[in-house]
Structure 1
Amino acid sequence: MQSVVADVGGTNTRMAYARGGVLVAGTVQWFRNDDYPTFADVLADFCQGASVDRLCVAIAGPVMPGHVRLTNRDWSFDAEQLGAVLGGATVRIINDLAAVGHALPYLAADAINPVVTGRAAPGGQALVVGMGTGFNVSLAHGSGVMLAEEGHTGLPIGVYRVLQAHLGDRAAPFETVEQLFAGAGLRALHRALGGAEMPSQQIVTGAPATMTVYVAALAALCRDMTFQFMPLGGIYFNGGLARAVVGLPDAGKALAAARVHDMFEGTLSDIPMWVVMDDAAALAGCAACLDQV
């Protein structure tokens, strides 16, 4: 049985073949979304007419019954449409952060790097925090993953106070979590602090004043999300922006200092944090999902 998995982000799409719940070695390919009018065109380019029986697609956006639309790209499609492209294949569509949540039990030791040391509670739920073109989270517990659209929630007051201390009234435009913690949000923060327009990665490596504020805000957000999601199994950062930000020399110290030390008998004070280094993690999660069906 031939299976294909896809991770469709706002900027790039990754695809691979899967067998027996794992990726087929050497089959992962990257595609620039700007080069294709629709995802169906990416799918056709990858498969090149090969027979496909099953497809699992992880998307950057909410998954609605019968139809999906990406949050950060004007692409929409449904399972029936994609199945027709593949000649009648069975199609499953899941959220991309949910896919990473499904992948957590299968990630190799070298696929994650420690950011904050701690002790994960056996059987505890784990929080996946995705930072890239957009922002979102998922909560993994055993073989189940709960969905969210955290990026569209209002900015927590603790985070806003960090911004207000540095920006004053100029903090007002940052109304949602994604407006600050996605790539465009980092660039907006840099401009608000008086910096010139530049790519996010350049800000991370070359604008320490901006990154000090950004990391402090991220630490405040993680503290709030600890109460929201109780991630006793740990927090896993995922995405290109996340890897760059939490890899900064002082990021781990700021995140560790923001953990909850004074409530619930210290239960939340030792939550470990990692960063997922494997770009194919969502694909691995899709492969695992196919094997569960």
Structure 2
Amino acid sequence: MQSVVADVGGTNTRMAYSQGGVLVDGSVKWFRNDDYPTFADVLDDFRQGAAVDRLCVAIAGPVMPGHVRLTNRDWSFDAAQLGAALGGASVRIINDLAAVGHALPYLSSDAVVPVVAGRAAPGGQALVVGLGTGFNVSVAHGSGVMLAEEGHTGLPIGVYRVLQAHLGDKAAAFETVEQLFAGAGLRALHRALGGAEMPSQQIVTQAAETMAVYVAALAALCRDMTFQFMPLGGIYFNGGLARAVVGLPETGKVLAAARVQDMFEGTLSDIPMWIVTDDAAALAGCAACLDQV
């Protein structure tokens, strides 16, 4: 049985073959989305006429039952249509952070970097926090993954107070979690603090004041999400912006200091945190997801 997995972002698509719930060594390939009019064209280029029996596609965005349209590219996915084009293949479409959640039990030790030391509770659920073009989370427990649209929720009061201390009334411009913590949110925060327009990665490396406020706000958000999701299995940061921000030398100290210290017998003060560094993590999650079908 030939299985294909795909991770579709706004700029690139990664694809690989999978077998027995794991990726086939050496099969991962990258494709530049601008080079293809549709996702089906990328798929055709990858498989080169080979038969496909099962396909799992991870996408950045909310997934409706069997159908999704990307918000930053004119691509749409329909499981039934893709399956028919592949000659009756079984097709599954999932959120990209859900895919990373499915991958957590299978990630090797060199696929994650510790940020905050702690002790993961055996069998405890883990929280995946995606920081990139957008913001979202997923909660993984065993082989199950709970979806969320956390980026569209309102800012917690603790986060708002961090902004208010530095921005005053201008803090009201940040209404949702994504408006602050996604890449565009970081750039908006930098402008609100009086900085010039610049790319997110440049802000991370050159704008210390902005990053101090951003990291303090992120720590406050993680504290709130600890109560929301009880991630006793740990918190995993994923995405390009996450790797840049959470990888800063001071970020781990700020996140550790913000952990809940005095409730639930101290269990929340010992939650470990990692950065997922494996670009193929979503693909690995898709492979595991296919094996569960």
- Same fold, TM-score > 0.5, yes or no: yes
- Is contact 1:62–1:71 with CA below 8 Å preserved after alignment? no
Matched, 1:169 2:169: yes
Cα distance between partner residues in 1 of 2:37 and 2:155: 34
> Secondary structure of the residue that 2:10 maps to in structure 1?
coil
1:40-87 Cα distance to aligned partner (Å, 9 max, x none)? 222222222221111000111111113212344443221012113323
1:155 corresponds to: 155
Cα distance between partner residues in 2 of 1:132 and 1:64: 22
Structure 2: segments with no counterpart, 5+ residues:
none
Cα distance between partner residues in 1 of 2:39 and 2:112: 29
Structure 1: segments with no counterpart, 5+ residues:
none
1:219 corresponds to: 219
Matched, 1:106 2:106: yes
Moved more, 276-285 or 84-93: 84-93
> Secondary structure of the residue that 1:121 maps to in structure 2?
coil
2:67 corresponds to: 67
Cα distance between partner residues in 2 of 1:41 and 1:230: 42
2:27 corresponds to: 27
> Secondary structure of the residue that 1:64 maps to in structure 2?
coil
CA 1:179–1:7: 2 relative to 1, 3 Å: same
> Secondary structure of the residue that 2:173 maps to in structure 1?
coil
1:85-122 Cα distance to aligned partner (Å, 9 max, x none)? 32321101111111101100000010000000001111
1:131 corresponds to: 131
Moved more, 110-119 or 12-21: 12-21
2:16 corresponds to: 16
1:77 corresponds to: 77
How many Å apart are 1:31 and its aligned residue? Answer: 2.1
- Is contact 1:72–1:133 with CA below 8 Å preserved after alignment? no
AA aligned to 1:219 is: A
> Secondary structure of the residue that 1:267 maps to in structure 2?
helix
1:16-58 Cα distance to aligned partner (Å, 9 max, x none)? 1111111111111122323333222222222222211110001
- Is contact 1:11–1:133 with CA below 8 Å preserved after alignment? no
Cα distance between partner residues in 2 of 1:261 and 1:198: 37
Cα distance between partner residues in 1 of 2:192 and 2:41: 39
Number of aligned residues: 293
Q: Give the root-mean-square deviation of aligned CA atoms.
A: 1.2
1:55 corresponds to: 55
1:91 corresponds to: 91
Cα distance between partner residues in 2 of 1:35 and 1:208: 37
Cα distance between partner residues in 2 of 1:44 and 1:189: 42
> Secondary structure of the residue that 2:269 maps to in structure 1?
coil
Cα distance between partner residues in 2 of 1:73 and 1:152: 20
> Secondary structure of the residue that 1:172 maps to in structure 2?
helix
Give aligned-pair identity as a percent: 90
How many Å apart are 1:272 and its aligned residue? Answer: 0.3
> Secondary structure of the residue that 1:51 maps to in structure 2?
coil
AA aligned to 1:237 is: F
AA aligned to 2:131 is: M
1:280 corresponds to: 280
AA aligned to 2:250 is: D
2:268 corresponds to: 268
Cα distance between partner residues in 2 of 1:263 and 1:35: 53
Stretches (4+) displaced over 4 A: none
2:118 corresponds to: 118
- Is contact 2:66–2:92 with CA below 8 Å preserved after alignment? no
> Secondary structure of the residue that 1:123 maps to in structure 2?
coil
